[in-house]
Chains A and B, each alone.
Chain A
Amino acid sequence: MSEHDQRTPVAITGLAADDPHLQPAARRPELVEQVIAVLFVAGIILCLGFGVAYWQNWAPWTLGATMGGGLSLMGIGLIAWGKYLMPRGPFVEERHTLANSEEDRNAFAAAIVERGGSVIKRRKFLGGLLGTGVGIFSVVAAFPLVRSLGPMPKGTLFHTDWKKGSYLVDITGRRVNVSDLAIGSIVTVFPEGKQDTDNGQAVDQTVLIRLSNQDYTTKKGRETWAPQGYVAYSKLCTHLGCPVGLYEQELELLVCPCHQSMFNVANGAMPTFGPAPRPLPQLPLMVDSMGYLQSQSDFTEPVGPGFWERHS
């Protein structure tokens, strides 16, 4: 048992000046005082150094180093002062029972129960009306806090800006031609005119990939959707909406960087691994007379993550 633990704890009041509990903990207080003084002086120099570093516009790390070093040294000195040079104790204080006496508790309960009871009992109807009023007020008071914040969702999540005949453009606004991409290429496309808009980037974003004709598995009803091996899928992951920009051309896999859902590009972007539950919606494509790619229509299902009103 340490020497500290062996001393019996005493109350701090009414001690004689030479009581062992009031003596500093250090065996050589003068030496400790000198060490603390050195720490403080070093701390002062570093704190002044912070001022100089700021005034002279030195590198950011010097600001942090001087402030950090100065504060730390002053702190260590102060802690040492408290630990080694101040009364070492241990001291004791009594815990007074938190709970009050029986009479006080009864009086308190009586005040609430009897006084309150007599009021309510005789005026139950009024009490009920008051309660109803406060309740209704709390509900309607919440209306402006909640409803005015934003618009109703309505059908917003069900449509994008893609329409029949929208040209596919890249981020610079340049239309994509069938002769532009080699097999194994990927480019992020938007409907023409929407590449700079918030909604365009957040909702319309689509990846265009060129597969070899022989790789593409035609799904029923989508036979015309992928001319010349070009497939387009919504870039919004069906898990949580991250852009699925990671394409592995040999594996023909779109991998979502957020939670590693993997979509098979050659098979309608079916999820083959990871938490995504649904395939990426496919954008039906067509080619115009000059070779520029257009969409046949909007996506045939809502893009992005699932929500309550989504039908399937």
Chain B
Amino acid sequence: MSAQVETKRAKRQAAGPYGKVGQILNELDDRLGVAKGGRTFLDKIFPDHWSFMLGEIALYSFVVLLLTGIFLTLYYIPSSAITTYHGSYLPLVGQKMSEAYASSVNLSFAVRGGLLMRQMHHWACDIFVGAIIVHMGRVFFTGAFRKPRELNWTIGTTLLVLAIAEGFLGYSLPDDLVSGTGIRIAYSIILSLPVVGTYIAFFLFGGNFPGAAIIPRFFIIHVLIIPLILLGLVGAHLFLLVRQKHTQFPGKGRTENNVVGSPMFPVFMAKTTGFLFVVGGMIALLGAFAQINPIWQFGFYDAARISYAVQPDFYMGFLDGALRIWPAWEFAAFGHTIPLEVTLPTVVLPGILFTLVYAWPAIERKFTGDNELHNLLDRPINRPKRTAAGATVLAFLSILFIASSTDVIANFFKVSLNSVLWDMRILTILVPLITYPVTYKICRELQGFEGAGKRKTTNVVTRTADGEYVAVPAPVYVDDAHHELDALPIPTFVVDEPAATVSSGVRRAER
């Protein structure tokens, strides 16, 4: 045999110790220089805790939104031009309606898989916003927004605002009776802004309500502008997460200067890809079995028509509830009108709330005087004030959300609608007032409770000179560089005789 013929072994040896794959990677490294960074990336450690999966639910439902959304854009017609429906849904046949509505009904009945895609898209949106809120809650209650992650908190809050706006725009696109009423309300809210309201409303809508411009404009904002911003911000959010590394709960071997968990490759990639499938599968199952937004039943939007029992999607519910309970205050003097019953609940209230959320890292820094880096998380009960504050805001928003269903509540419980509304007004003030001290107290109680959470305290048993056994809890495991700002004093060993006698005959040490 000639020495020129390449044997299999020779080929294998030429390829290097890692075979074909190694060769390809080498070629990539020649061009992109990825070897070192790639290895570091694959070695990245992700801490394991179930609450760290919540952000992934949001991320993967966003992926589902993008994929199903692309499908929908291929069939939806973003136009208010009038057309006549000639499809299979009898109550609409022969009726004149906008192209947007007709194409949405056709998507539901005439396009194979269209109804599933529409429903998956809408369910994914609800899950997206819901997961963002829950994820934000986790970040807040564990203090993961502290230095160096304040920027990520800001990006995340912006993502929430954009997601809510995107959802509103999206469900308004089919131009049905329910969402069209929401657009009318939005128009009136813009109109109510002092000085500039009428101008902004006329510019945005191309004139008086409804006009023909708003559907195409909503479409382009929903399909292009906001998704681009979302993609950019999500990318920045993940980049910061990778660069700063994920936070972790305190525990064995976990310090401020390391991360303990599973490696990116293969464990984390497997679990997260599996989770992507599960999220997608769950959304598909919801889209199959739970009907959402049946626009054909609502009928097309007509400015003279209205349905009762109309609420916006849940993430806008707090605004609707605030509008319902607000007293009829209107400022009308000096030739001008400011409808306070509109501007206060829909502009000022969310403005204050979101400013509070954006500013929270700065607020907490100011109040605690804590300017250090934190990579270890707090257990919520160890920060009673922060936990109580967060619970109060959530309680307030929940009451407002419930207030958006006053008519449904009155109908279900068979009570007067007027009294339900008054009850909601009272609850909106009472419930947050009660939530703060109750949450605070629960946190403090749990702090002092033996064996709370996973932290187990040991008891040191000593025998006194008289032969009695006394059990005393050992010092609490201090796992943070900072002392707990609100913690109970750490008990010391008991040296003297206990003074109190309990009738059961068992002596207990005083704490």
- A residues in contact (CB < 8 Å) with B: 1, 5-6, 8-9, 12-13, 54, 57, 60-65, 67-83, 86-87, 89-95, 98, 146-147, 149-153, 156-157, 171, 188, 190, 198-199, 201-203, 205, 235, 239-246, 257-261, 271, 273-278, 304-312
Contacts and interface: CB of A to CB of B under 8 A. Distances in A.
Given A69-B281, A82-B266, A6 B252 contact: yes
B339 interface: yes
A181 B148 CA distance: 71
Contacts of A261: 328
A150 B199 CA distance: 9
Interface string B192-212: 111111110111111111111
Interface of B: 43-45, 48, 112-113, 115-116, 119-120, 148, 181, 184-185, 187-189, 191-199, 201-213, 243-245, 251-254, 256-263, 266-271, 273-289, 302-310, 320, 323-330, 332, 335-339, 341-342, 375, 406-407, 417-418, 421
Given A64-B284, A150-B202, A198-B210, A92 B303 contact: no
Among the interface residues B45, B115, B286, B342, which one has the most CB atoms of the partner chain A within 10 A?
B45
B252 A5 contact: yes
B263 A89 contact: yes
Contacts of B197: 307-308
Contacts of A202: 208-210, 303-304
Contacts of B307: 257
Contacts of A78: 270-271, 273-274, 277
Given A82-B266, A149-B213, 20 more contacts: A12-B45, A64-B285, A82-B262, A82-B274, A90-B48, A91-B45, A91-B261, A150-B206, A153-B201, A190-B304, A240-B184, A241-B184, A241-B185, A243-B306, A244-B306, A257-B308, A277-B328, A277-B330, A277-B339, A304-B188
B421 A306 contact: no
6 smallest CB-CB distances across A and B, nearest first, come from A64-B288, A75-B277, A82-B270, A72-B281, A68-B284, A78-B274
Contacts of A60: 113, 115-116, 288
A306 B330 contact: yes
A254 to B, nearest CB: 12
A54 to B, nearest CB: 6
A65 B207 CA distance: 45
A1 B252 contact: yes
Nearest to B338: A308
B263 A87 contact: yes
Contacts of A153: 198-199, 201-202
Contacts of B212: 198
B278 A81 contact: no
B287 to A, nearest CB: 5
A141 B66 CA distance: 31
Among the interface residues A76, A147, A271, which one has the most CB atoms of the partner chain B within 10 A?
A76
16 contacts: A5-B251, A54-B112, A61-B288, A67-B281, A74-B281, A75-B276, A79-B278, A93-B44, A95-B258, A95-B259, A199-B208, A241-B185, A274-B421, A275-B326, A309-B198, A312-B332
A63 B289 CA distance: 10
Among the interface residues A54, A62, A257, A276, which one has the most CB atoms of the partner chain B within 10 A?
A257
Among the interface residues B44, B208, B210, which one has the most CB atoms of the partner chain A within 10 A?
B208
A92 B45 contact: yes
A37 to B, nearest CB: 15
A275 B278 contact: no
A308 B198 contact: yes
A43 to B, nearest CB: 9
Given A87-B263, A93-B258, A306-B337, A274 B328 contact: yes
A305 B329 CA distance: 13
Contacts of B115: 60
B328 A81 contact: no
A5 B252 CA distance: 7
A72 B282 contact: yes
A54 B113 contact: yes
A150 B198 contact: no
Given A95-B375, A157-B198, A243 B304 contact: yes
B193 A188 contact: no
B271 A83 contact: yes
Contacts of B325: 275
A198 B188 CA distance: 17
A71 B275 CA distance: 10
A308 B309 CA distance: 30
Contact of B185 (A74, A258, A273): A258
B407 A306 contact: no
B52 to A, nearest CB: 14
A65 to B, nearest CB: 5
A81 B341 CA distance: 56
Given A205-B303, A242-B181, A86 B339 contact: no
A149 B277 CA distance: 43
Contact of B213 (A150, A260, A273, A277): A150
A274 to B, nearest CB: 7
B339 to A, nearest CB: 4
Contact of A147 (B203, B256, B304, B327): B203
A90 B201 CA distance: 57
A87 to B, nearest CB: 7
Contacts of A307: 191-192, 197-198, 337, 339
A4 B256 CA distance: 20
Nearest to A1: B252
Contact of B323 (A235, A275, A310): A275
B211 to A, nearest CB: 7
B282 A240 contact: no
Given A149-B206, A205-B303, A258-B181, A246 B308 contact: yes
A119 B85 CA distance: 68
B342 A305 contact: yes
Contacts of A81: 270, 274
B178 to A, nearest CB: 11
A199 B205 CA distance: 14
Contacts of B274: 74-82
Given A81-B270, A199-B208, A275-B323, A12 B43 contact: yes
Given A241-B184, A275-B328, A305-B191, A12 B271 contact: no
